[in-house]
Structure 1
Amino acid sequence: MERRRGSTLEHALLAAAWAELQRTGYAGFTIDAVARAAGTSRAVLYRRWPNRAALVHATVRAHAGSVTDRVPDTGSLDGDVRALLRELAAGIERIGVDVATGLLGELDEIPDDVKATVPGVVEQVVERARARGEIGDSPVPEAVLAMPGALIRYHVVTERAVPSQDVLDGIADQLLLPLVRHHAGASR
């Protein structure tokens, strides 16, 4: 049998990991089972991913993509915020609440750059609104940029459900949009 390498090997490992995740859920997911399913050793997996959470995150990203690939640009701050929140909820739907909850329980095992994803995409939305002249140039605090992701995570963990449109609208209308406008200031 020909030895797999590079992207061929990584694709096979991530496919085996996704199948295992679907079969066992997050709680039953093990590196050993993925190695067996992929016909390789644990060492091959650990050379790429330092732990279970990092492997699951890579698997989820390979299967469902990343919100960074789909930052909305609807032409307005309100539209972009609503579309972004829907995309975040859709991402949870694609991977499943069980997997999302499991990953959220092991956030300390995931690289820090992953944790900066949601604040980063919210900042992109804010910067586009600035460029269109919808809001002023004052800085928006990091806590405001991180808030939508934190609230969605809280909902997933406490309700064990994907946030409904009503929940997403509440985040947008009652919190994120007013806070962005408050901190950024009036448009030019």
Structure 2
Amino acid sequence: MPHKASRGDDHRKAPRRRGEVLERAILRAASEELAEVGYVGFGIDRVAARAGTNKTTIYRRWPSRAALATAAFRDTALADDLPDTGDLRADALAMLRAAAERIASRQGEILQVLATEMRSEPELMAEVRDELIGAGITRWLTLLGRAVARGQARPEALSPRIATVAVDLLRNEYLLRGVTAVPDTTIIEIIDTIYLPLVRPHTEQDDE
């Protein structure tokens, strides 16, 4: 009876992959492992088998388990398409709802574990934090820039602090209030009573 190959047994017989193609395969495998076993059970051996490669190849790109897990998380967290409905309110609500789901999901739990794990690697932690925050700022600035072009937001609002105020307030709900899930009514309130009045063009009545 022929031997049934386990995951990764025949990776040397597969077409050789290089560069971005190989990295995408590894990151996808790492994301799948995190989703299945969490960070506690996350291992380079399992990722290598799932990706059809070897540990040496992975370690050349990511020097530690934390580095690979963080790269996989970052890749997944920033993979969402940017909403573009043509309406600022609808786009902002979609962005904030997606952020709330991500924070409350297993991705959010994994990020918290990674933050704890990486305390011994402050340089890596700072790099990840800066990259995630920078990418988030870019996404909100892009959303707001489209609204400015449509006349739905004022150009003066195009600053990182203003553009991300909604998601900053959302994070405060988790960090300061200690909630495990933010209700949709709170998300709507943040957008309708704080974000939109802050970024929308001023009217003559506002100036009176």
TM-score by length of 2: 0.65
SS of 2:38's partner is helix
Q: Judging changes above 3 Å, is the alpha-carbon distance between structure 1 residues 49 and 172 closer, same or farther for their aligned structure 2 residues?
A: farther
Structure 2 residue aligned with 1:5:
17
Structure 1 gaps, min length 5: none
Letter in 2 for 1:40: N
Letter in 2 for 1:14: L
Structure 2 gaps, min length 5: 1-11, 119-124
Letter in 2 for 1:85: L
Are 1:85 and 2:101 an aligned pair?
Answer: no
Are 1:186 and 2:205 an aligned pair?
Answer: no
1:101-126 CA-to-partner distances (Å, cap 9, x unmatched) read: 33565552517333212211111121
Q: Judging changes above 3 Å, is the alpha-carbon distance between structure 1 residues 154 and 104 closer, same or farther for their aligned structure 2 residues?
A: farther
Q: Judging changes above 3 Å, is the alpha-carbon distance between structure 1 residues 132 and 166 closer, same or farther for their aligned structure 2 residues?
A: same
Equivalent residues of 2:140, 2:163 under 8 A apart = yes
Alpha-carbon distance, 1:61 to partner: 5.5
| Structure label with greater radius of gyration | 2
Structure 1 residue aligned with 2:82:
71
SS of 1:138's partner is helix
Alpha-carbon distance, 1:82 to partner: 0.8
Aligned partner of 1:40 among 54, 62, 77: 54
- With 147-156 and 113-122 compared, the bigger mean Cα shift is at 147-156
Alpha-carbon distance, 1:81 to partner: 0.9
With CA pairs under 8 Å and 6+ residues apart, which has the higher RCO, 1 or 2?
A: 1
Q: Judging changes above 3 Å, is the alpha-carbon distance between structure 1 residues 26 and 120 closer, same or farther for their aligned structure 2 residues?
A: same
Runs of 4 or more above 6 Å deviation: none
CA distance in 1, matches of 2:13, 2:173: 47
TM-score by length of 1: 0.71
Q: Give the RMSD, CA atoms, in angstroms.
A: 3.5
Letter in 1 for 2:153: I
Q: Judging changes above 3 Å, is the alpha-carbon distance between structure 1 residues 187 and 66 closer, same or farther for their aligned structure 2 residues?
A: farther
Aligned partner of 2:166 among 122, 129, 148: 148
CA distance in 2, matches of 1:102, 1:160: 18
Identity of aligned residues (%): 32
